[in-house]
Each structure stands twice: as structure tokens, then as C-alpha cells.
Amino acid sequence: LLREHSENISWLGLSMNSNGGQGVVYFGDITCAGGITYTLSVPGAEYTSVYGPRYDATTELFTFVGSYTLENDTTIYAFLFRGEFNDLANPAKYVFQMNFNPTLYTTSFTHSTDGMFAVGNSGSVEATDTYSWLYNIITETYTPISFPNAKTTTTYGIIKNANGSYTIVGGYSSSKQ
């Protein structure tokens, strides 16, 4: 059933209830009529928000990214999941607490993924700047992304082009806002 719908992931998001929040994954057409909805909760998280779905038909692996919080912790953590859909509860399939500089930043989001990369942002209220980063899923390394002379840089999307290159989109500000 999932293989049948895997190329038609229409949206992701967050569902809130009195016990916390869970990520939402919808398989179906863009009109949201007649599809199937699933929840995704990072193992051990109080709240999960999920973005950037990818499905690789060759390996039959899903990749989801997003953010999560832990109970009694004000930090917002970024995550990446890569595995079969039935592995969503398996902590071994996650990269937890993704952050370009965890000693400086207390808020991180992974926004998008494609191929062997994911993009995200790290920052905090106290920091004088924020950083975007490119995460290499294979080498587990970060490369900072900073627009020249910007105080803040955000990256929201990455896509692998037909020729093997990548396109990254985001924004920047010359002052902290």
C-alpha cells in the first residue's frame, strides 16, 4: 500500500493535542481527497513537526526531516529520519539533535532533504546571528551556509537537479530580525 502512494506525498505538518504534538504524513493526491494520513513522532519527543518528505523508489527508503522538543526542555532540536516507513519508531533510523553549533544555538530546524543532503538552520534568542547549514547524510558532516555580510541566513529547500548538481533556496537579512 505504501509503495502505491509513496510518490504522492502531498503534505506534512503538525497535529496538536493535549498530550503533545505529532508530525502528520499524508499520502494521496494534492486535493487531499481519499488519501491516507499517518502520524510521525520522533521517539521520546513531546512534540514533533515534520517537513521535507522524500521517497527513493530504488531503495524504497523514506527520508523525513523536521524538529522536535523533549519534555521539560526549552531546546528545539532538528532531526532526520531515513528508513522504511515501518521503521518510524526505531531510534536507530534517526539522526537526533542536528545543530551546526550546539554550544551556541538552542533552536534548530531541518527543513528539506534530497539525495545525500539536508538543509536547516540553527539559532537562538540570545545569539547575534543564525546559521544555515548543509548536512551530508553519508559523512555526517555540516557545511555552514552564510550569505555574504548577512546576520541571518535561512535555508528552506534543497533539490537534486537532473545533472547531479543541487539547488538550495532560502533567505537572509543584514540585521538580526
Three-state DSSP at 103 gives coil
pLDDT at 16: 46
Residue 17 has what pLDDT? 47
Q: What is the pLDDT of residue 159?
A: 93
Decide: helix, strand or coil at residue 29. coil
Give CA–CA dist 164/77, Å, rounded: 30
pLDDT value for 86 = 86
At 20 the pLDDT is 61
Residue 151 Cα distances to 99, 124, 158, 174, angstroms: 18, 13, 21, 5
Each residue's pLDDT tens digit in the chain (177 positions)? 333 444 444 444 444 444 567 888 888 877 777 788 888 889 999 999 998 888 888 888 899 999 999 989 888 899 999 998 889 889 999 988 888 777 788 888 899 999 899 999 988 877 667 789 999 999 999 999 988 888 888 899 999 999 999 999 999 888 755
Q: Pull the grid cell for residue 18.
A: 493535549
Element (H, E) at 145: strand 141-145
Q: What pLDDT sits at residue 6?
A: 44
Task: Report residue 87: phi and psi, to 5°.
Answer: -95, 10
User: What is the pLDDT at residue 9?
Assistant: 45
